[in-house]
Amino acid sequence: MKDKLPAILVGLAVVGVLGWLALGSVGDNLVYYWSPDQLEAAGTKAVGANVRLGGLVKPGSIKVDGTVTTFEVLDGSGKIAVPVRTEAIPPQMFREGIGVVVEGTLGDDGVFKSERLMVKHDENYKAPTSGADAEAAIKAAKE
């Protein structure tokens, strides 16, 4: 057993490095969601493909008409916006300015049709800072 130890250790080091590289390159190729600018850069290639689109809900863009919700998803720079149309029921946290990830397809008309709307909450955990915040939080909790 003892004389095999160096070979085992070398083998482990090789496998470890290979595993690390594999994970790293998977990281470059596997994309959980596209940002609006990445979707735009893909051009017509993005049309019809089943993808996820992630970004921030553009303030003032949310419109609810019966079961249909439309809004726009902004990229980080705030310059590129993709209109989204969904019949999914928005999660309770859905609001203007919040991060969202939508699953669906980009149509020929430039509208992203989504069957699934997910809300991304950030890493900030804060107590309500004002009376209005507290009331909103209590109201949201009751609903």
Q: Which residues bind another protein (CB under 8 A)?
A: 1-2, 5, 8-9, 11-12, 15-16, 19-20, 23, 27, 30-33, 35, 54, 88, 90-94, 101, 116-129, 133-134, 137-138, 140-141
Where do we find the tokens 């009331």? Answer: 135
DSSP bridge partners of 114: 86, 104
Whichever of 35 and 81 has its CB closer to another protein, that residue is 35
* CB nearer another protein, residue 73 or residue 118: 118
The single-letter code of the amino acid at 104 is: G
Output the smallest distance, CB 48 to another protein, in A: 21
- Whole-number minimum distance, CB 23 to another protein, in Å? 5
User: What DSSP letter does each residue of 81-104 carry, written as one string?
Assistant: EEEEEE-SPPPTT--TT-EEEEEE
Question: Cβ of 140: how many Cβ atoms within 10 Å?
Answer: 11
CA distance 101 to 57: 10
Which of residues 2 and 79 has its CB atom nearest to another protein in the complex? 2
Quote the least distance from Cβ 62 to another protein, whole Å. Answer: 15
Q: Are 63 and 44 in contact (CB under 8 A)?
A: no
**What letter does residue 58 receive in the DSSP assignment?**
P
Residue 109 vs 142, nearer CB to another protein: 142
Minimal distance, residue 27 CB to another protein, in Å:
6
